[in-house]
Amino acid sequence: MTETQPAPLPAAPRRLGVLLQGVGAVGSTFIAGTLAARRGLGEPVGSLTQLAHIRLGKRTEHRNPMIKELVPLTELDGLVFGGWDIFGGNVFDACETAQVLDGRLTAQLRDELEAIEVMPGAFDPSYVKRLNGTHVKPGGRRAWADALRADIRRFKAANDLAECVVINCSSTEVYSVAGPAHQSVAAFEAALDADDPSVGPSMLYAYAAIMEGCPYANGTPSLGADVPALLALADAKGTPLAGKDFKTGQTLLKTVLAPMFKARMLGVRGWFSTNILGNRDGEVLDEPGAFRSKEMTKLGVIDTILQPDVYPSLYKDLYHKVRINYYPPRGDSKEGWDNIDIFGWLGYPMQIKVDFLCRDSILAAPILLDLALLLNLAQRAGRKGVQEWLSFYWKSPVTAPDVYAEHDLFIQLTKLKNNLRHMAGEELITHLGTEYYEE
């Protein structure tokens, strides 16, 4: 099969803007961590764009450059940060509130962090019931959307930026599904004018980003751009999108363990997952409506991987339960505990227990860095709409209509790397012939 040769990739912008919806634990850890890495105060561990290599050609060619050597990406020094939050202050304040990073590290970055003031957020308290925002824009949905667009333009002009990416890392909104106002661009525009409450804040930021030609990523379970109107708008405007809900801890493990069970044709009777966490995210997720949003993105994973319809004797009656418990003493250090009841030869039962003592924002920060750089790359490569090749980063990958999401982490990685190879005009690695699995 001959691959169509893509056009050569335009050079990366020397400076790239990254605007965050929500500068809380994840947002501030990403910004401070990137500043620390570029000053040599820490390693950007967990970031593919900064650390990973990619094999090219035949194994005998011994070509294994870094991803950032294969495709043009903006250097860390060129990233310019900004964001919105419903609580005021600067990014140093946000780091102090979040208490994720050591104060000795943030003290060294203090000047740079204090120079980034967060802009007032577009906020409707019925979407995030546990928070009372004090740093908010005067409302009406149309006014909010216009103000967010103006913020993006001002940020670009003030920092002399031609290109910018927007990432949603704000609080999870209450569970909602796409309704009549979200079915077409015209209906969505009318809903903005009518201040229709079914348009949540996350959609307003997504809309503003798309209208301003900024690629948009949704790191939360909220709907964001995941409604027909905004998917169509992104297509029309030629803007890349990706989402949703960063895959960081428990779900990351699920998307490695579940494919292993299926690969070995081992049965699974039950999977009980519980979490304790004490950060603001945990407080927001303690509210049933917000938990429902998170539960939906967490639950989808196992069924798609295990295919109970194809393997009913192994997975049909699988009982899957997910719990999130707000437990303040833990702060950002989450404990994700899984009990998995599996069975083997002749149905004999076994159990697996996984106790992941993780740090939520430490796991999420490198994902934001990769997404900012890779979505900008996608834009330069002329890609628009949902970027399924970035499903690697998501608990609940948004897909084209009528296509199921790919959840297996290693298939997702293969897809990501093959897309990079394709963009760079390199041969795809299909693992046929004498190739073996070596990503």
Ligand X SMILES: NC(=O)c1ccc[n+]([C@@H]2O[C@H](COP(=O)([O-])OP(=O)(O)OC[C@H]3O[C@@H](n4cnc5c(N)ncnc54)[C@H](O)[C@@H]3O)[C@@H](O)[C@H]2O)c1
User: Which parts of this chain interact with ligand X (CB under 6 A)?
Assistant: 21-22, 24-27, 84-87, 98, 121-123, 128, 131, 169-172, 201, 219-220, 245-246, 248-249, 279-281, 284, 360-361, 363-364
Which is nearer to ligand X, 9 or 131 (by Cβ)? 131
Least distance from ligand X to the Cβ atom of residue 27, Å = 6
Least distance from ligand X to the Cβ atom of residue 201, Å = 4
Which is nearer to ligand X, 98 or 258 (by Cβ)? 98
C-alpha pair distances (Å), 391 with each of 103, 164, 197, 424: 34, 21, 30, 20
- Angle between helix 409-423 and 250-263 (nearest 10): 100
Least distance from ligand X to the Cβ atom of residue 293, Å = 8
d(CA 252, CA 135): 34
Radius of gyration of the chain (CA): 22
d(CA 152, CA 20): 11
C-alpha pair distances (Å), 121 with each of 77, 83, 205: 27, 9, 9
Nearest residue to ligand X by CB is: 24
Pairing of strands 119-120, 79-85: parallel
Least distance from ligand X to the Cβ atom of residue 29, Å = 8
Q: Which two tokens stand for residue 148?
A: 């967010």
Which is nearer to ligand X, 248 or 387 (by Cβ)? 248
Which is nearer to ligand X, 227 or 314 (by Cβ)? 227
Which is nearer to ligand X, 110 or 359 (by Cβ)? 359
Least distance from ligand X to the Cβ atom of residue 118, Å = 8
CB-CB neighbours of 143 under 10 Å: 14
Least distance from ligand X to the Cβ atom of residue 157, Å = 21
d(CA 182, CA 199): 8
Which is nearer to ligand X, 27 or 397 (by Cβ)? 27
Main-chain phi, psi angles of 235, to 5 degrees: -60, -45
